[in-house]
């Protein structure tokens, strides 16, 4: 032991250090190859040429036309473990020949340089910049350093780039797997070429890798959406996301960030597996001069929003099982709180979970559980304290009436009926305030009300099977041969005319034996005239022509019934009668005031609705399933009661 002096002992690297430090980068050949091509991307390469051997023991070479490195650059970067790329070079890479052009780097910590150790314990780097080439050999070691760098010489060389080579002594992959892997991971930028053994990789030509479909945007044209499935989950999601192409050129940067928030949480397996390509050549006039984004125009925003909704729908389908599992988990976690709520409130909790999962895909499970707890408590308070206040103000007669009601109805049943009645009365009140006003916008204000109030026209339209039919609306649009006022941003499934708006609704016909949909049972056409408009024979004839056009379009069956309602402020006396065209078409003119009177009469015809309410079951299968599961405490309670 020495006194009066300090002794310093240096730590050293064990033989297994790199395996622990680099992890899957040097054990999984797929991740290693992705990291190597990502390094070329980060080096501003637009072209990567890979020579891959046909068998184990062959030569592997990856050559890129990226920035390259000087001898000093290489020694600085390659000798520093946990190299902080963002701190040293920034989040963007700048092209040496085009300083104004930028792209976001994939790399962050410098581990990608270790990827070659997945295939061999040594590799060679030849990199050149500013007319000078430098060659290094990198070998695995342990002790003072996890790897050593040996300078092998330099020489003159024009241009810039990097070539890395090694023998594939382990973790060999067949060439077709390499092609499919790199094609699915590096497709977002069409200007970035990856060439394998002399043939450029085209992911769209690899069987089972891509799925593409044409998406028609009303009034604009066609957009192609391509979904790439890399089949395997990568280490990171940075090579994936949504990319917009115009004339085979990337606009902006690919990412999972949508117009109204994130499409996907980048930490999920789906975000590390799927890629969406949107080929939108129709937006060529909406691209900014530097191609960093689209212009902020009404047309560009409308088209992007339509595509955005289509991609979200596709992602929701992909994530369906994941969301259901997550929903069941959070309901189980908050089971006792949710179980204490009335049935209607339990369904509200289920809807809340569905909605928040779609609108906030990046929300963590713990945050989702907290949000559900808060919502459930608010639901409990909403249905509890207000009721207590009302009970405190009841007189003796009210208590007797309440007792009589509760002898017949459960609170949930009574609430369902009263909610339905309240909704209908409110709908009528809104209609009364709008139908006679000359300035009413029937598309934005009246059509949504009538769509929710189809029950006004008769009990047969109570069914939720009657839905807006965009296909039939398109047939009616063609009838006017270009005379339609297009307004697809608001309601593309309606026909907008200078003096009216037309909605087409339909219900399906079902095969009695199989129960499958086999056609269209009935079509309802509702034409809303502007305030102050008088209906004449001309309007009735035109409605009949809509029906004939639909009949002749082949969109419906020969015996499908079509009923047309033409609604206006007044009806000319000579045109007041219903008219028919053959056995399957009927045209009915109605004044708005008569429609409202009919609505008031039908509001109190609630007997069928009440009978249906008695049979209501929980619609939310996940909530019902979890809450119905017996727990140990449930059996303990039964045992106590028995004793």
pLDDT tens column, 337-382: 888 777 777 888 888 888 887 777 667 788 888 888 888 887 776 6
- Residue 91: which H helix or E strand, with range? none
Q: Would you say residue 635 lies in a domain?
A: no
Interstrand relation of 585-591 and 561-568 (parallel, antiparallel or unpaired):
parallel
Cβ-Cβ contacts under 8 Å for 185 (sequence gap 6 or more): 34, 37, 230, 234, 239, 240
pLDDT band at 103 (very low <50, low <70, confident <90, very high): low
pLDDT value at residue 611:
46
pLDDT band at 89 (very low <50, low <70, confident <90, very high): low
Q: Would you say residue 492 lies in a domain?
A: yes
pLDDT value at residue 94:
63
Q: What is the DSSP string of 526-593?
A: EEEEPTTPEE-HHHHHHHHHHHHHHHHHTSS-TT-EEEEEEEESEE-GGG-S-EEETTTEEEEEEEHH
pLDDT value at residue 148:
92
Q: Average pLDDT in the 108-137 region?
A: 89
Q: Which of 293, 318, 343 is the last residue of a domain?
A: 318
Looking at the predicted structure, is the pLDDT value of residue 550 above 60?
yes
pLDDT value at residue 641:
38
My answer on whether 295 and 396 are in the same domain is no
Q: What are phi and psi of 466, to 5 degrees?
A: -80, 110
Q: Residue 477 and residue 546: Cα distance in Å, rounded?
A: 9
Where residue 303 sits, what CATH number does that domain have?
3.30.230
Sheet holding 59-64, edge to edge: 147-156, 132-140, 122-129, 161-167, 59-64, 47-51, 193-196, 199-200
Q: Would you say residue 86 lies in a domain?
A: yes
Q: What is the DSSP string of 341-352?
A: S-HHHHHHHHHH
pLDDT tens column, 170-196: 999 999 888 877 876 667 677 788 899
Q: Residue 43 and residue 191: Cα distance in Å, rounded?
A: 14
Question: Please, which contacts does 615-622 make with residues 24 or more away whose CB atoms are closer than 8 Å?
Answer: 616/413, 616/416, 618/343, 618/346, 618/347, 619/347, 619/350, 620/346, 620/347, 620/350, 620/351, 622/324, 622/327, 622/328, 622/331, 622/350
Looking at the predicted structure, is the pLDDT value of residue 577 above 60?
yes
Q: What are phi and psi of 281, to 5 degrees?
A: -65, -25
My answer on whether 29 and 123 are in the same domain is yes
Specify the higher pLDDT residue, 513 or 62: 62
Question: Please, which contacts does 306-309 make with residues 24 or more away whose CB atoms are closer than 8 Å?
Answer: 306/215, 306/217, 307/215, 307/217, 307/223, 307/225, 307/278, 307/280, 308/258, 308/259, 308/260
My answer on whether 500 and 384 are in the same domain is no
Closest among 244, 283, 290 to 263, alpha carbons compared: 244
Looking at the predicted structure, is the pLDDT value of residue 543 above 70?
yes
pLDDT value at residue 637:
45
- Give Cα separations from 505 to 45, 84, 465, 524 (angstroms): 55, 60, 9, 5
In 10 A of CB 127, how many CB atoms?
26
Question: Reduced to 3 states, what is the DSSP secondary structure of residue 375?
Answer: helix
Query: How many domains would you assign to the chain?
Result: 4
pLDDT value at residue 1:
47
Which region among 111-120, 386-395, 506-515 has the lowest average model confidence (pLDDT)? Answer: 386-395
My answer on whether 116 and 66 are in the same domain is yes
Q: Would you say residue 178 lies in a domain?
A: no
Q: Residue 154 and residue 70: Cα distance in Å, rounded?
A: 10
My answer on whether 385 and 344 are in the same domain is yes
Mean pLDDT of the chain: 77
pLDDT tens column, 486-505: 555 556 667 878 778 888 88
Q: Residue 466 and residue 625: Cα distance in Å, rounded?
A: 30
My answer on whether 374 and 469 are in the same domain is no
pLDDT band at 62 (very low <50, low <70, confident <90, very high): very high
Q: Residue 189 and residue 254: Cα distance in Å, rounded?
A: 8
Beta-bridge mates of residue 589: 566
Q: Would you say residue 516 lies in a domain?
A: yes
Q: Average pLDDT in the 209-238 region?
A: 74
Q: Residue 99 and residue 618: Cα distance in Å, rounded?
A: 61
Q: Are 231 and 276 in contact (CB under 8 A)?
A: no
Q: Which of 288, 318, 348 is the last residue of a domain?
A: 318
Q: Residue 606 and residue 604: Cα distance in Å, rounded?
A: 5
pLDDT tens column, 555-564: 888 888 999 9
Q: Measured on CA atoms in the order 387, 390, 394, 400, is the torsion positive or negative?
A: negative
Phi-psi group of 288: left, alpha or beta (phi > 0 → left; psi -120 to 50 → alpha; rest → beta):
beta
pLDDT band at 60 (very low <50, low <70, confident <90, very high): very high
My answer on whether 471 and 558 are in the same domain is yes
My answer on whether 227 and 373 are in the same domain is no
- Give Cα separations from 392 to 262, 387, 395, 403, 527 (angstroms): 48, 9, 9, 15, 49
Q: Residue 259 and residue 266: Cα distance in Å, rounded?
A: 16
Looking at the predicted structure, is the pLDDT value of residue 311 above 50?
yes
My answer on whether 599 and 456 are in the same domain is yes
Q: Average pLDDT in the 396-415 region?
A: 70
Residue 416: is it exposed, middle or buried by C-beta count within 10 angstroms (0-12/13-18/19+)?
Answer: buried
Closest among 232, 255, 198 to 48, alpha carbons compared: 198
Extract the tokens encoding 216: 């028609």
Taking each helix axis from N to C end, the angle separating 365-392 and 343-359, rounded to the nearest 10 degrees, works out to: 150
Specify the higher pLDDT residue, 273 or 96: 273
Question: Reduced to 3 states, what is the DSSP secondary structure of residue 434?
Answer: helix
Q: Would you say residue 90 lies in a domain?
A: yes
pLDDT value at residue 606:
47
Q: Average pLDDT in the 618-635 region?
A: 65
- Give Cα separations from 144 to 10, 109, 147, 148 (angstroms): 9, 21, 9, 9
My answer on whether 27 and 98 are in the same domain is yes
Looking at the predicted structure, is the pLDDT value of residue 579 above 80?
yes
pLDDT band at 385 (very low <50, low <70, confident <90, very high): very low
pLDDT band at 92 (very low <50, low <70, confident <90, very high): low
Tokens 């895909």, residue located:
361
Extract the tokens encoding 581: 């065209």
pLDDT value at residue 267:
61
Specify the higher pLDDT residue, 184 or 530: 530
End-to-end CA distance of the chain: 76
Highest-confidence segment of 7-16, 155-164, 349-358: 155-164
My answer on whether 398 and 443 are in the same domain is no
In residues, how long is the chain? 643
Q: Would you say residue 412 lies in a domain?
A: no
Question: Reduced to 3 states, what is the DSSP secondary structure of residue 355?
Answer: helix
Q: Would you say residue 642 lies in a domain?
A: no
Looking at the predicted structure, is the pLDDT value of residue 14 above 80?
yes
- Residue 450: which H helix or E strand, with range? helix 447-452
Tokens 């390094």, residue located:
39
Extract the tokens encoding 279: 């080929």
C-alpha Rg value of the chain to the nearest Å: 34
Looking at the predicted structure, is the pLDDT value of residue 471 above 70?
yes
- Which residue range is the domain that position 219 belongs to? 199-318
Question: Reduced to 3 states, what is the DSSP secondary structure of residue 227?
Answer: strand
Specify the higher pLDDT residue, 418 or 389: 418
My answer on whether 312 and 330 are in the same domain is no
Where residue 67 sits, what CATH number does that domain have?
3.30.565.10
Highest-confidence segment of 204-213, 289-298, 397-406, 419-428: 289-298
**Helices and strands in the chain: count of H runs, count of E runs:** 19, 26
Closest among 483, 505, 488, 485 to 496, alpha carbons compared: 485
Cβ-Cβ contacts under 8 Å for 39 (sequence gap 6 or more): 107, 112, 113, 115
pLDDT value at residue 399:
64
pLDDT tens column, 227-266: 877 666 555 445 567 877 787 777 777 676 765 666 655 5
């Amino acid at each position: 032991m020495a006194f009066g002096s300090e002794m310093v002992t240096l730590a050293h690297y064990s033989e297994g250090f790199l395996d622990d430090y680099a992890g899957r980068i040097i054990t999984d050949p797929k991740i290693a190859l992705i990291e190597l091509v990502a390094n070329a991307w980060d080096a501003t390469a637009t072209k990567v040429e890979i020579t891959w051997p046909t068998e184990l023991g062959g030569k592997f070479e990856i050559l890129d036309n990226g920035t390259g490195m000087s001898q000093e650059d290489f020694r600085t970067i390659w000798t520093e473990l946990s190299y902080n790329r963002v701190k040293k070079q920034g989040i963007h890479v700048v092209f040496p020949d085009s300083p104004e052009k930028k792209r976001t780097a994939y790399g962050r910590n410098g581990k990608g340089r270790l990827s070659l150790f997945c295939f061999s314990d040594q590799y060679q780097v030849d990199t050149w910049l500013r007319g000078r080439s430098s060659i290094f050999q990198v070998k695995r070691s342990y002790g003072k350093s996890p790897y050593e760098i040996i300078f092998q010489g330099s020489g003159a060389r024009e241009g810039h780039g990097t070539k890395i080579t090694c023998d594939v002594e382990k973790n060999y992959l067949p060439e077709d797997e390499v092609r499919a892997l790199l094609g699915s991971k590096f497709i977002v930028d069409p200007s970035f070429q990856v060439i394998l053994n002399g043939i450029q990789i085209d992911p769209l030509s690899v069987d089972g890798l891509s799925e593409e479909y044409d998406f028609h945007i009303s009034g604009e044209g066609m957009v192609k959406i391509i979904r790439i499935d890399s089949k395997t989950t990568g280490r990171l999601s940075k090579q994936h996301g949504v990319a917009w192409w115009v004339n085979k050129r990337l606009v902006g940067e690919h990412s999972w960030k949508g117009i109204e928030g994130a499409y996907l949480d980048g930490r999920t397996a789906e975000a590390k597996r799927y890629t969406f390509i949107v080929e939108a050549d129709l937006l060529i006039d909406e691209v900014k001069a530097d191609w960093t984004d689209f212009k902020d125009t009404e047309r560009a925003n409308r088209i992007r929003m339509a595509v955005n909704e289509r991609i979200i729908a596709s992602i929701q389908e992909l994530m369906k099982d994941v969301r259901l599992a997550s929903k069941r988990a959070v309901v189980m976690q908050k089971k006792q709180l949710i179980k204490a709520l009335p049935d209607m409130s339990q369904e509200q909790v289920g809807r809340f979970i569905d909605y928040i999962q779609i609108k906030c895909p990046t929300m963590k499970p713990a945050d989702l559980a907290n949000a559900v707890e808060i919502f459930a408590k608010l639901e409990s308070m909403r249905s509890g304290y207000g009721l207590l206040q009302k009970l405190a103000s009841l007189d003796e007669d009210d208590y007797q009436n309440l007792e009589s009601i509760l002898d017949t109805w459960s609170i949930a049943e009574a609430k369902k009926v009263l909610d339905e009645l309240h909704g209908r009365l409110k709908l009528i009140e809104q209609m009364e305030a709008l139908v006679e006003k000359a300035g009413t916008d029937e598309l934005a204000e009246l059509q949504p009300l009538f769509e929710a109030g189809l029950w006004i026209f008769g009990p047969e339209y109570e069914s939720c099977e009657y839905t807006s039919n965009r296909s039939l609306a398109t047939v009616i649009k063609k009838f006017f041969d270009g005379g339609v006022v297009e307004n697809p941003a608001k309601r593309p499934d309606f026909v907008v005319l200078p003096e009216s708006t037309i909605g087409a609704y339909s219900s399906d016909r079902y095969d009695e034996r199989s129960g499958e949909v086999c056609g269209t049972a009935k079509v309802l056409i509702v034409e809303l005239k502007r305030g102050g408009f008088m209906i004449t024979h001309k309007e009735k004839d035109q409605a009949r022509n809509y029906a004939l056009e639909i009949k002749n379009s082949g969109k419906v069956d020969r015996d499908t019934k079509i009923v047309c309602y033409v609604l206006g402020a007044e009806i000319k006396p000579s045109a007041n009668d219903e008219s028919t065209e053959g056995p399957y078409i009927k045209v009915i003119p109605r004044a708005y005031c008569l429609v409202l009177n009919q609505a008031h009469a039908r509001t109190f015809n609630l007997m069928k609705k009440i009978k249906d309410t008695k049979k209501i079951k929980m619609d939310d299968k996940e909530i019902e399933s979890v809450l119905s599961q017996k727990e140990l405490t449930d059996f303990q309670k039964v045992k106590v009661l028995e004793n």
